[in-house]
Each structure stands twice: as C-alpha cells, then as structure tokens.
C-alpha cells in the first residue's frame, strides 16, 4: 500500500455555510468514490478557500460526512487578481493500492478549468 495525494476543487455559487457544506461534501464524496476509498483510508486533508469565502470552515463538511478521526486543516488561498472566485480546494493524503497514474483528481463544475491537465 502506498501514500498518495488526491487533489480536488469546487466552486460555490454563494458564500453561505449550508451551501459550502453541500458543495464541499459533494467534492469529498466524489474524491472517495472515484478512487474507491473509504474514510479509514484518509491520512489527512488540507482545505484552502479563496479569500472571498467567510461563512464556514470547509473542514466542517468533512466532519458532517462522519470523517471525525482524520486530521484536517483549513487555510486561505492567495488573493490573486483575476482568480476564480468562491473556490474550495482539497489535498487529501490517502493510503491506497492505486498507482499514481490511476489516482483520480476531482474538479467539479467550472473548477475543471483550473487543472485541465489532471481534472477528470
């Protein structure tokens, strides 16, 4: 079994706690499902949010999914002029048998434009 990093992102339509929970929850669910992972495979998750998001911590969505014994941390993205607004990104460290070439990085909706090279 290897340690792998899985990337992902989602854009919110509005800065509202319930909406953030739904969208980030959908992102985490997709990351797990598309990589055949369960919560026990998670080592840690880094969340970043663009500076225009203030309503909640993205990590709260993971806790809402029952991911309660995994270290989580939130940070703010750089405030770059012209960057896509209202984006939450994840970097999940996981234990998996998947080779690097088969790890599925998940960019939902418009965020696929952020990483056309790895978005599935």
Active site positions, annotated: 7, 63, 74, 77, 89, 107, 115
Are 91 and 46 contacting, i.e. CB atoms less than 8 angstroms apart?
Answer: yes
Region of 97 (left: φ > 0; alpha: ψ -120 to 50; beta: rest) is alpha
β strands within the chain, DSSP E: 2-11, 42-49, 72-76, 87-96, 106-107
User: What tokens does 26 get?
Assistant: 């959908």
């Amino acid at each position: 079994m290897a340690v792998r990093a899985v990337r992902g992102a989602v854009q919110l339509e509005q800065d509202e706690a319930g909406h953030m929970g739904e969208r980030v929850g959908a992102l985490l669910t997709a990351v797990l499902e598309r990589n055949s992972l369960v919560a026990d495979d998670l080592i840690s998750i880094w969340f970043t949010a663009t500076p225009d998001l203030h309503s909640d911590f993205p990590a709260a969505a993971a806790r809402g999914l029952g991911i309660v014994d995994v270290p989580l941390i939130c940070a703010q993205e750089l405030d770059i002029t012209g960057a896509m607004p209202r984006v939450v990104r994840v970097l999940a460290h996981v234990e998996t048998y998947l080779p690097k070439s088969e790890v599925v990085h998940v960019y939902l909706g418009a965020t696929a434009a952020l990483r056309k090279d790895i978005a599935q």
